[in-house]
Amino acid sequence: MKHPAEFLAEKKWGVFSHYLYHDVCRAGSEHNRGVGEVSWCDAVNMFDVERVAYTLHRMNAGYYFITLQQGTRHMLAPNATYDKIAGTLPGEACATRDLPMELARELEKYGIDLCLYYTGDGPHSDPEIGPKFGFTGSTGDGRHVDREFCEKWASVVGEYAERYGSLVKAWWMDGFYDDFFGYTNELRGIYHKAIKKGNPDAAVAFNNGVKDGFWRVYPEEEFVCGEFNDFLLVPYNKYIEGAQAHVLAPLGYDHERLSVGYGWAQPGVRHTKEYMRDYIRACARVGGAVSVDILTHIDGSFDIEQEAAMRWVGENL
C-alpha cells in the first residue's frame, strides 16, 4: 500500500502561501499591492487561480500549500459549521468564494497537488468569535484547549475535508503545541479523525513549533511538519519514525530586522538560486520534500524575485 505522503517525495518540492486577512486586506502592506483597505470577501475574489496554477506550472512546483486561516475570524472558504458555531452569516467571516475548490480544479490540469494549512487555536484573536469556540489564549494566560473546543474546531476542518475529499492531498496543522496550548495526542486525534473521514488517504502533520531537528509529533501523522526558519538542516532519512520527511521554511526575510527568523511571507531571496537548488537536491537524495514559503499578493501573484529564483530552481533540479 502506498504511503499517504509519498507524493511529497515524488514531487520533491512545492510552494507555500500565507494568504491572510491582516496581510492582503491592509492598505500599505507588501501583500496588498496598492489596492487599499478591502473586505476579506473582496480580497479572496481577486485571487487569480488560473494565473497561480500556470505560474506554479512554469516553476515546476509539484504541490501547493495555502492557508485556510490563522488566528482571526477570516476563513478562506464557506463553512456552514463555522457559521453555526460563530453565529455569523455567509461572508461575515468565511469567504463566499470557495477558493480551495477552484484551486484544486485548476492545479489538477497541471498535475499539481493542493494541500491546506489549518491551525490548532481557532479564531482566538477575535474577541467575539474566539470565546464561542472556547479558546482565546495559551496556558501562559491560564487558558488552554479542552475537548469541547477541539470537537468544535475539528468539526470545521471536518466539513472542509469532506467537501474536498481527495482533491486535497495533505493538511499542515499548525499550533498543536503541548507546552503552550496543552495539546495531547488524544486531542490531536480528534482532528486527525475528522480529516480522515473526508479523505482516508490524506496526509496529515501536526506542528509543535520550530525545533532543532526532525520530529514526529503525533504517532499517526503521515509526514512531519519540519518547520524551520531557514533552509539549513537536511533530513537524515526518508522516514522519521514512519512519517515522510518534510521541510517548510521561508525564502524571504525581514529587510528591517535582517533576521532569518523573520522571513515568513516576506519578500526577497535570502539564498542564491544555486543554493536552493542544491538544498532541495540534498533533501531529495534521502527522499525528503521541501516546501518553500514565498510572499503571495492579494491577487495570488508571487513576489517577482522569489518567483524568478524558484522558477530557475525548478528548471535546473
Residue-wise pLDDT tens digits, 224-243: 999 999 999 999 999 999 99
Cβ-Cβ contacts under 8 Å for 275 (sequence gap 6 or more): 231
Q: Which residue(s) pair with 94 in the sheet?
A: 75
pLDDT for residue 271: 95
Half-sphere exposure of 293 (CA within 13 A, CB side): 23
Kindly state the average pLDDT of the residues 38-63.
Answer: 98
pLDDT for residue 228: 95
Predicted confidence (pLDDT) at residue 259 exceeds the cutoff of 70:
no
Number of other residues whose CB lies within 10 A of the CB of residue 304? 11
At 205, the pLDDT band (50, 70, 90 cuts) reads: very high
To which residue does cell 507588501 refer?
Answer: 30
Helix residue ranges per DSSP H, 206-303: 273-285
- The Cα 275–Cα 126 span in angstroms is 40
Superfamily of domain 6-316: Glycosidases (3.20.20.80)
- Per-residue exposure over 201-240, b if at least 16 CB sit within 10 Å of its own CB, e if not: ebbbbbbbeeeeebebbbeebbbbbbbbeebebbbeebbb
- The Cα 136–Cα 224 span in angstroms is 27
Cβ-Cβ contacts under 8 Å for 74 (sequence gap 6 or more): 20, 21, 40, 93, 94, 95
To which residue does cell 491592509 refer?
Answer: 26
pLDDT above 90 coverage of the chain, percent: 90
- The Cα 80–Cα 82 span in angstroms is 5
Predicted confidence (pLDDT) at residue 173 exceeds the cutoff of 60:
yes
Identify which has the larger pLDDT, 173 or 145: 173
At 142, the pLDDT band (50, 70, 90 cuts) reads: low
pLDDT digits (tens, 9 = 90+) for 64-82: 999 999 999 999 999 999 9
Kindly state the average pLDDT of the residues 32-46.
Answer: 97
43: nearest Cα among 28, 22, 58: 22
At 260, the pLDDT band (50, 70, 90 cuts) reads: low
Per 3-state DSSP, the chain is made up of helix, strand and coil in percentages (nearest 5) of 35, 15, 50
pLDDT above 70 coverage of the chain, percent: 95
Q: pTM to 2 decimals?
A: 0.96
pLDDT for residue 257: 60
Q: What is the DSSP letter of 37?
A: S
Kindly state the average pLDDT of the residues 152-179.
Answer: 97
pLDDT for residue 258: 56
Element (H, E) at 187: helix 185-198
To which residue does cell 494566560 refer?
Answer: 141
Predicted confidence (pLDDT) at residue 90 exceeds the cutoff of 70:
yes
Residue ranges of E strands in the chain: 13-17, 63-67, 113-119, 168-174, 203-206, 239-240, 243-244, 246-250, 289-293
